[in-house]
C-alpha cells in the first residue's frame, strides 16, 4: 500500500526524534505499577563470545595504525567465505571488491542512498528512495541525507509484512535510486522468500536502482535459516549487480558495541563507494576487524545465542497465544503484537507501564504517518525478548495477565 503522497518535502518521513526519545517523553512523570522491566530497545543482553577479549589483546598494537578503507584482506576473505558457506554461493563473491567493512551496518544504510544517487546519476533533483513502513529509522535518515523523496510502503499482514511489489508503478521505479528492505523484517520478524527476492532484483535491474538488503537478523531464526538476496541472485545470472547486502555482528554475536559490519554484493558499486568513503568515512579499526574474523569463523556461539532466544519465544507462545493467537515470528527477537482490541499503541503502552511496570514500544513510533493520516503501526506494540529468561518470563506473564483481565 502507498497512500497518496504529499508534495516533496525534504525529510518528510524523518521523525523529529528517535522512537526511544519519543517513548521517554510519552512516559515522563508516569510511575511504573510494579518493578520495571524494560522490553523496548533491541540491544542484545546475552554473553559476548568468549574469545573477544583475547583477540582484542592480541591485536592491541593495531590501534596505532590507520586501517585501510577497504578492510584487511583477512576480513574480506572471511566475510566472503562466511557468505559463501551460509548461502551456497559457489565462490561468486569478489573478495577484493565485493566486501567492504563498515562501522556497523548502520553506517552503510545511512550513506548508501547518497552513493546510489551519485552513481546512477538519473538527473533528478529529488530521486525516489523506497522504504518499508514501519522501518529502521536509519532508512529515513538515508533518504534525508541523499535529498531523496521517501516513498513509504506500508508493511501489513496480508503481504507478510514485506513491501508490496504489486503497488509499484513503472514511473515511480524509473525515478528510484535506492530500495531499502529488511529480511527478516524489523520489527515484525517475517522473511522474504527466494521468489520475492528474485522479483525485486528483476525490477532493480530493469529500472536501474540499487537494493539495500538489511539482513542484520539473518542468524536469529527459529528453525529454518532465512534465504538471502545473494542466494536468490545466484540463480539469475549477472552476478550481484544492483544488490548490496548489509549485516553485522550486533545481533549474530551480541557485539553491538564493536560497531563492525559489512556491505557485500555488487563489486562495481562497492569499488566506487569505497573511493568515496576513503574521502568521507572513518575506517573500521583493525582490532575490531580481527574480532570479526574470529566471530565469522565460529558458529558455536551463534547456535547458543539462537537457542536462548528460541527458549524465550517458547515462553511467549505458551503465555500469549491463548489470548492473541500465534505470536512467534519466523526470525528476529521481537514480538509484534496486535493490540487493537485493547486500544491504540500509545494508550496501551502507557497503561502497561502504569499498571504492570512493563515498558514496550508503540508500533506507531516505528512508522511514519502516510499523507492520509494512517499509520501501519498504530495497533501494534513491539516487545523485545533480549532480557534474561527469568526476567522475560515475568514480564510476559504480567502482560498475559493484563491482556486477559482487560479483554
Q: What percentage of residues in the chain have a pLDDT greater than 90?
A: 92
Preceding amide of 11 cis, omega within 30: no
CB distance 77 to 290 below 8 Å: no
- The reply to whether 290 and 376 lie within a common domain is no
- The reply to whether 286 and 305 lie within a common domain is no
- The reply to whether 231 and 135 lie within a common domain is yes
- The reply to whether 184 and 288 lie within a common domain is yes
Domain count for the chain: 2
Answer yes or no: is 399 within a domain: yes
> Exposed/middle/buried for 298, CB within 10 Å: 0-12, 13-18, 19+?
middle
CB distance 236 to 242 below 8 Å: no
- The reply to whether 275 and 379 lie within a common domain is no
Report pLDDT for 2: 58
Three cell numbers written together for 41: 530497545
Q: What percentage of residues in the chain have a pLDDT greater than 70?
A: 97
Quickly state the pLDDT bin for 14 (edges 50, 70, 90).
confident
- The reply to whether 119 and 89 lie within a common domain is yes
| Distance separating alpha carbons of residues 20 and 25, to the nearest angstrom | 9
Report pLDDT for 363: 97
* Enclosing domain of residue 250: 64-298
Answer yes or no: is 155 within a domain: yes
- The reply to whether 107 and 230 lie within a common domain is yes
- The reply to whether 207 and 331 lie within a common domain is no
Three cell numbers written together for 233: 541472485
Q: Computed over its alpha carbons, how large is the radius of gyration of the chain? A: 21
Answer yes or no: is 164 within a domain: yes
Q: What is the arithmetic mean of pLDDT over 242-256?
A: 98
Answer yes or no: is 215 within a domain: yes
Predicted confidence (pLDDT) per residue in 278-310, tens digit: 998 899 999 999 999 999 999 999 999 999 999
Answer yes or no: is 1 within a domain: no
Report pLDDT for 4: 42
- The reply to whether 73 and 165 lie within a common domain is yes
Which among 139, 216, 206, 215 is positioned nearest to 178, based on CA atoms? 139
Q: Are strands 149-154 and 128-133 parallel, antiparallel or unpaired?
A: parallel
Is the predicted pLDDT of residue 384 greater than 60, yes or no?
yes
Furthest-apart CA pair in the chain: how many Å? Answer: 61
Predicted confidence (pLDDT) per residue in 83-134, tens digit: 999 999 999 999 999 999 999 999 999 999 999 999 999 999 999 999 999 9
400 compared with 137, residue with greater pLDDT: 400
Report pLDDT for 17: 77
Domain boundary among 298, 328, 354: 298
Predicted confidence (pLDDT) per residue in 254-280, tens digit: 999 999 999 999 999 999 999 999 998
Predicted confidence (pLDDT) per residue in 39-55, tens digit: 999 999 999 999 999 99
Q: What is the arithmetic mean of pLDDT over 351-377?
A: 95
Q: What is the arithmetic mean of pLDDT over 397-401?
A: 98
CATH code, domain with 337: 3.90.1150.10
Domain boundary among 231, 265, 298: 298
Predicted confidence (pLDDT) per residue in 188-202, tens digit: 999 999 999 999 999
- The reply to whether 144 and 254 lie within a common domain is yes
Answer yes or no: is 9 within a domain: no
Quickly state the pLDDT bin for 6 (edges 50, 70, 90).
low
| Distance separating alpha carbons of residues 310 and 223, to the nearest angstrom | 9
The string of DSSP codes covering 190-244 is: ----HHHHHHHHHHHHHHT-EEEEE-TTTT-BSSSPPP-HHHHHHTTSSTTTTEE
Answer yes or no: is 7 within a domain: no
CB distance 178 to 212 below 8 Å: yes
CATH code, domain with 147: 3.40.640.10
Is the predicted pLDDT of residue 333 greater than 50, yes or no?
yes
- The reply to whether 358 and 222 lie within a common domain is no
Q: Are strands 261-265 and 243-248 parallel, antiparallel or unpaired?
A: antiparallel
Domain boundary among 264, 298, 332: 298
- The reply to whether 138 and 255 lie within a common domain is yes
- CA–CA distances in Å: residue 152 to residues 1, 14, 173: 8, 11, 13
Residue listed under C-alpha cell 535529498: 147
Answer yes or no: is 394 within a domain: yes
Q: What is the arithmetic mean of pLDDT over 175-180?
A: 98
Amino acid at each position: 500500500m502507498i497512500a497518496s503522497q504529499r508534495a516533496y518535502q525534504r525529510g518528510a518521513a524523518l521523525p523529529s526524534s528517535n522512537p526511544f526519545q519519543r517513548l521517554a517523553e510519552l512516559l515522563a512523570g508516569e510511575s511504573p505499577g510494579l518493578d520495571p522491566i524494560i522490553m523496548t530497545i533491541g540491544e542484545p543482553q546475552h554473553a559476548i563470545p568468549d574469545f573477544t577479549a583475547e583477540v582484542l589483546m592480541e591485536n592491541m598494537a593495531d590501534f596505532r595504525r590507520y586501517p585501510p578503507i577497504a578492510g584487511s584482506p583477512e576480513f574480506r576473505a572471511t566475510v566472503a567465505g562466511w557468505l559463501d558457506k551460509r548461502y551456497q554461493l559457489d565462490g561468486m563473491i569478489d573478495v577484493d571488491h565485493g566486501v567492504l567493512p563498515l562501522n556497523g551496518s548502520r553506517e552503510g544504510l545511512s550513506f548508501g542512498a547518497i552513493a546510489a544517487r551519485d552513481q546512477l546519476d538519473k538527473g533528478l533533483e529529488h530521486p525516489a528512495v523506497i522504504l518499508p513502513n514501519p522501518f529502521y529509522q536509519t532508512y529515513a535518515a538515508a533518504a534525508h541525507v541523499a535529498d531523496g523523496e521517501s516513498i513509504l510502503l506500508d508493511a501489513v499482514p496480508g503481504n507478510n509484512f514485506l513491501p508490496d511489489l504489486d503497488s509499484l508503478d513503472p514511473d515511480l521505479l524509473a525515478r528510484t535510486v535506492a530500495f531499502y528492505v529488511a529480511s527478516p523484517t524489523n520489527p515484525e520478524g517475517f522473511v522474504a522468500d527466494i521468489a520475492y527476492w528474485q522479483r525485486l532484483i528483476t525490477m532493480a535491474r530493469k529500472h536501474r536502482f540499487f537494493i539495500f538488503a538489511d539482513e542484520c537478523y539473518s542468524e536469529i531464526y527459529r528453525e529454518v535459516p532465512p534465504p538471502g538476496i545473494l542466494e536468490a541472485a545466484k540463480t539469475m545470472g549477472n552476478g550481484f549487480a544492483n544488490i548490496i547486502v548489509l549485516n553485522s555482528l550486533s545481533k549474530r554475536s551480541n557485539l553491538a558495541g564493536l560497531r563492525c559490519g559489512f556491505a557485500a554484493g555488487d563489486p562495481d558499486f562497492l569499488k566506487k563507494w569505497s573511493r568515496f568513503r576513503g574521502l568521507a568515512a572513518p575506517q573500521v579499526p583493525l582490532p575490531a576487524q580481527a574480532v570479526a574474523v574470529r566471530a565469522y569463523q565460529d558458529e558455536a556461539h551463534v547456535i547458543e545465542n539462537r537457542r536462548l532466544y528460541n527458549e524465550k519465544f517458547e515462553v511467549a507462545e505458551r503465555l500469549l497465544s491463548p489470548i492473541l493467537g500465534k505470536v512467534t515470528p519466523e526470525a528476529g527477537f521481537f514480538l509484534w503484537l496486535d493490540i487493537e482490541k485493547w486500544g491504540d499503541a500509545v494508550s496501551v503502552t502507557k497503561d502497561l507501564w502504569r499498571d504492570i511496570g512493563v515498558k514496550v514500544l508503540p508500533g506507531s513510533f516505528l512508522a511514519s504517518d502516510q499523507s492520509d493520516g494512517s499509520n501501519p503501526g498504530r495497533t501494534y506494540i513491539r516487545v523485545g525478548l533480549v532480557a534474561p529468561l527469568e526476567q522475560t518470563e515475568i514480564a510476559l506473564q504480567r502482560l498475559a495477565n493484563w491482556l486477559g483481565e482487560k479483554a
